Amino acid sequence: MCLEPISGIINFCPSNINDDEQVFQVAKHKVFHVLGFSNNLYPWYRDENGNPRTSRDANGNPPTDANGQYVAANNTVKMVNLTDWQTRFGPMNKTVTQLVTPKIVEIARRHFNCDTLEGVQLEDQGGSGTAGSHWEKRLLNYEAMTGIISENFAFSNFSYALLEDSGEL
């Protein structure tokens, strides 16, 4: 059984929108969030057979963390410790959050020409509405689902793969 979104809320702040084209671009970005690109929706993702990617309790709910927030399984979202991460200040360790669903990994390996890539990093900066619910800007610069909507942005195979892996397509 596939569960599809039956409603979603998009809140526009008119003082931050300059023209009709920007409204259209923001609306497309927000629809992707409603359809599944949101850290509070990852625990609800389903596999290609319609089965939950994250185990469910007797009431059909995923597990929760200490704050009562639903938590996705490691087959969907994974924390990865990058060792020897090169920065302008020298090498360091950095823990990142990655989406690791099958289609996303397939697209990422092809895009970055790396057969060992385990997933695609999510944004780790910004507030609760940005971190974890967007692609990492430094990796997918003009992708429409980064946390900053740029001029000339476009939806890429990464975001379409996310929707496919969510069980919604």
The binding site for Zn(2+) comprises: 29, 33, 134
Phi-psi label, residue 60: left if phi above 0, alpha if psi -120 to 50, beta otherwise: left
25 three-class SS: helix
Distance CA 122, CA 131 (A): 7
Query: By C-alpha distance, which of 40, 41, 59, 57 is closest to 3?
Result: 41
Distance CA 52, CA 71 (A): 13
Tokens representing 18? Answer: 């300059």
